[in-house]
Structure 1
Amino acid sequence: MNFTIENIVLLFSILLLVGVISAKFSTRLGLPSLVLFIAAGMVLNQFVFFDNAWLAQLLATVALVIILFEGGLQTKWESVKPVYKPSLSLATIGVIVTTLTVGIAAKFVLDLTWAEGILVGAIVGSTDAAAVFSVLGNKNVKRKLATVLEAESASNDPMAIFLTISLIQVIQSPSFDPLTLVLSFFWQMGLGLFFGILFGIASVWIINKINLDSSGLYPVLSIALSIFAFSVVTIMNASGFLAVYVMAIVIGNADLTYRHSILGFNEGLAWMMQMVMFMILGLLVFPSELLDVAWQGIILAVFLMIVARPVGVFVSLLFSKMNVREKLFISWAGLKGAVPIILGTYPLVEGLEHGQLMFNVVFFVVLLSTVIQGASISKAAELFGVTRTGKKTESPHSLELISIGKTNSEMVEVRILEESAAANKRIHEVDLPPKTLITAVIRGDQLITPEGSTKLFPEDVLYVLVKKEQKMN
């Protein structure tokens, strides 16, 4: 293809269109959307030659910052708090154990040195929340397990990134002091956590106080702050990714001006970055090269799914109250996604002797494990008995009133449950807090204008205008 400005713009639009269509059909096909994005990239590389690993890594890093930031914004601290211990254990001990277990297999299967083998293990050591939940379909996993998986997937990336970068340093400098590695870990994670909280608090203050002329600038400001935080913390040789995620959690759980605009914008931008990122990574892969490492990839993928991941889960949850069935499901739900493929470009960029081999094998392993586990995760939930009865409590509806962005009121969404005190009552019979107004009732696909005589039924979705201080109580 002739890379004129017009052709590049056309290619970018095609990437986005293919990405949106892929996302729409991914759930119906029982596959994570990332698989279809990557497949689209692999098809496009038959027409577009692209082998710039450095540029791919740069774009992927920016994309990952935005994806982690969006994930943190959506993380509700009250949901994560009860399960932070098992999630943190999975995100640290689990990643380390999985890394070492896969590393042993990779050393012999790929005929690598010990450091190179463990490097492969570190690259595939983390899981991906988007991949897990994009294939659950209509299956309702127990809330506790879903939260554990989500928190683990969002928080284990910094550990995998730290291990990957550290092992590359060990390979490049065999005299690298192990004590330096340990001190580096505490430095990176400690400063990442500290500055994440600091930047989060500062960002909330800035967003609420800056008083911009246009509401559309607030989401842009939030993205700018996240990228700035990542850059500053990374320059200090600390974990910028951890800082961004922690910062986003602080922002997402704070009383925020134009919250709906910021959340909606970041969700859409994160989707766009996932599409572009995975397709560009797909452009780096040539099917013929994947076939060359097919048998090694199959062995490592199977080993990762049925040995390494379960070992990591059971060791890290040794003192957890979870039963065997729940641990087995968590093991099977450890789908791979963005980070392993991005980390697979690191050996390429650093010019390691077996960098191309590592990238191809990692790509093959991630793709294979995601396809197999992604297509069977709903069945696994039923097999291990970890589904919950009833319908999902999450609502696909959203309502945004820009005009109340700076006021002391907020529009909140409430779903009426079977056990709710308001279920099967008329609105005038419901004891509402002072100055609280039900503005809309959504029942199925119908929008009902609420009146005092309107009866509320289970599964109704209400939009309620409340004072912010009442919402926080």
Structure 2
Amino acid sequence: MTHLADNIILVLAALMLVGVLSTKFSTRFGMPALVLFIAAGMVLSRFVFFNNASLTQVAGIFALIVILFEGGMQTSMKDIRPIIAPALSLATVGVLLTTAIVGIFARLVLDVPWAESLLFGAIVGSTDAAAVFSVLGGKNIDKRLTSTLEAESGSNDPMAVFLTVSLIEWIQHPNTAVWSLMLSFIWEMGIGLFMGIAVGKLAVYLINRINLDSTGLYPVMAIGFAVLTYGLAVTVHSSGLLAVYIMGLTLGNSELMYHRTIMNFNHGFAWMMQIAMFTLLGLLVFPDELTEIAWQGLLLSVILMLVARPVGVFLSLLFSRFSLREKTLISWAGLRGAVPIVLATYPLLAGLPQGQLFFNVVFFVVLTSAVIQGTTISPLASRLKLVGKDDAQPSLMELVALGKTDSEFNHIAIDKHMPIAGMQIAQMGLPDDILFTAIIRNKSIVTPHGSTVIEPGDTVYVLSPKSKRDEMRSIFRSGKGKAAESNIPMV
């Protein structure tokens, strides 16, 4: 048992490292990273037998909570307010139209009853924000377009979930009244919206007023509130995913302590959950079964990309101010990702006769959408002349953290035995390109000046070129810019 656990831990470590490194590959070739994570899971399925759809669904929902929460926190209300109407139209009318069109063709291609064919359409009805922005993130696309895609992706998932669950209920209980489903939709969306705002306001209040022993606990607290939001929402039979997205939107647009710390943690955690989720989903698929439905999957994928999505976009944006070129890009940027595959586990767990068929076809549709659309979105945006010169200046911390500059930050704890302890900064003879940017002293920030005295116990923040790392360290060893044998405690 111990040997098995050690092997599992080793495989998980390899998956995380490969997942992180694969993001560079996906950025370079314009392919969503989810393709590589899924491929890793499919390769592992050759060696590990895994068919636990229930565990996969739970892991998928938890991952979606984290991803939607992070997406909500990154969304600026200032950016989405002007495009809220077209985004909501895409998330509702667009999803309904996509469901209907794909459902019609699924009836012919898969030879299933109408209710099941519409269920398939609902499962593939929503887009994936993570997939879209992993491709468009490096392009300077018009902010109105990116905000529309972001708002649509965050709000169309609840619509797809509602349609999927409602159609499964309708299949299992054909006597279900349509009006009761409509009332259920109003309840789910309305209460989900209220729950997201309410818990979001409560989270902001508590995070800003509670004093925790470690700043690292604040991101954990924020994630805890996101999971709580989902739990409370589904307990009262409302849309948990919508509630989580709105809760993240509330936090991200409020005055929040440790906002940057929470954002950075969420970003990394969301990536980790994507790696885990897509790997699990890849494990749930057997490659041999995909070859059996290849032509059906490819045909339905083409119909989704070239017919259903464009019709849904153009009709739902009929009265919007988007140009033909912009609508074309929005149509092609409707990548499918996590949500359709997670929703495909619902028919499996419900015991529907076509459950396994739907899961395999949906899986094929998502893969082809990610590969074909993912690798062509950026060239299409350039061809449509919707890509401009990026004039936005990144922040200093972003440049350093992302490795896009030749400089680096070091923070150094000052020991009483260091020669510079007790010296003024002006007396050190620092080179022009080595700068003291801040000093932490007795839990307070001291702005460094030439007359500032470096005291034992200080933590000094230094900005210097990477090429002068040794010279920078030598200053702290000798106080005169020459290297000595002692080590500097770098923290």
Aligned to 2:25: 25
Per-residue deviation, residues 178-226 of structure 1 (Å, max 9, x unmatched): 1110000000000000111000100100111121111111111111111
The 8 Å contact of residues 83 and 144 in structure 1, kept in 2 or not, is answered as yes
1:41 aligns with 2:41: yes
Q: Which moved more, 1:130-139 or 1:366-375?
A: 130-139
Inter-CA distance 319–444: structure 2 relative to 1 (3 Å threshold): farther
Aligned to 1:331: 331
Aligned identity (percent) is 56
The amino acid across from 2:270 in the alignment is A
The 8 Å contact of residues 16 and 272 in structure 2, kept in 1 or not, is answered as yes
Distance 1:252 1:110 in 2: 43
1:262 aligns with 2:262: yes
The 8 Å contact of residues 207 and 256 in structure 1, kept in 2 or not, is answered as yes
Aligned to 1:454: none
The 8 Å contact of residues 73 and 252 in structure 2, kept in 1 or not, is answered as yes
Aligned to 1:313: 313
Report the TM-score, using the length of structure 2 for normalisation.
0.80
Q: How does 1:29-428 map to 2 (within 5 A)?
A: 29-136=29-136, 138-393=138-393, 396-397=398-399
The 8 Å contact of residues 79 and 143 in structure 2, kept in 1 or not, is answered as no
Inter-CA distance 293–34: structure 2 relative to 1 (3 Å threshold): same
The 8 Å contact of residues 325 and 384 in structure 2, kept in 1 or not, is answered as yes
The amino acid across from 1:295 in the alignment is W
Inter-CA distance 238–154: structure 2 relative to 1 (3 Å threshold): same
Q: Which moved more, 1:312-321 or 1:375-384?
A: 375-384
Distance 1:38 1:229 in 2: 29
Residue 363 of structure 1: how far off its partner (Å): 0.4
Per-residue deviation, residues 380-399 of structure 1 (Å, max 9, x unmatched): 11222222234455554378
The 8 Å contact of residues 18 and 40 in structure 1, kept in 2 or not, is answered as no
Inter-CA distance 266–116: structure 2 relative to 1 (3 Å threshold): same
The amino acid across from 1:150 in the alignment is E
Distance 1:260 1:332 in 2: 33
Aligned to 1:451: none
Distance 1:13 1:148 in 2: 36
The 8 Å contact of residues 40 and 279 in structure 2, kept in 1 or not, is answered as yes
Distance 1:67 1:214 in 2: 24
The 8 Å contact of residues 137 and 378 in structure 1, kept in 2 or not, is answered as no
Residue 2 of structure 1: how far off its partner (Å): 9.4
The amino acid across from 1:187 in the alignment is W
The amino acid across from 1:261 in the alignment is T
Distance 1:143 1:293 in 2: 39
Inter-CA distance 118–8: structure 2 relative to 1 (3 Å threshold): same
Inter-CA distance 2–342: structure 2 relative to 1 (3 Å threshold): farther
Aligned residues, how many?
413
Give the CA RMSD over aligned residues: 2.5
Inter-CA distance 442–33: structure 2 relative to 1 (3 Å threshold): farther
The 8 Å contact of residues 99 and 124 in structure 1, kept in 2 or not, is answered as yes
Distance 1:71 1:118 in 2: 29
The 8 Å contact of residues 410 and 462 in structure 2, kept in 1 or not, is answered as no
Q: Which moved more, 1:282-291 or 1:137-146?
A: 137-146
Report the TM-score, using the length of structure 1 for normalisation.
0.83
The 8 Å contact of residues 102 and 308 in structure 1, kept in 2 or not, is answered as yes
Residue 373 of structure 1: how far off its partner (Å): 0.6
The amino acid across from 2:161 in the alignment is I
- Structure having the higher Rg: 2
1:12 aligns with 2:12: yes
Q: Which moved more, 1:50-59 or 1:8-17?
A: 8-17
Helix, strand or coil for the counterpart of 1:126?
A: coil
Inter-CA distance 69–137: structure 2 relative to 1 (3 Å threshold): closer
Helix, strand or coil for the counterpart of 2:174?
A: coil
Residue 278 of structure 1: how far off its partner (Å): 0.3
Residue 298 of structure 1: how far off its partner (Å): 0.8
Distance 1:84 1:442 in 2: 42
Runs (5+) with no aligned partner, structure 1: 403-436, 448-473
Residue 177 of structure 1: how far off its partner (Å): 0.9
The amino acid across from 2:399 in the alignment is H
Aligned to 1:457: none
The 8 Å contact of residues 71 and 245 in structure 2, kept in 1 or not, is answered as yes
Residue 8 of structure 1: how far off its partner (Å): 2.0
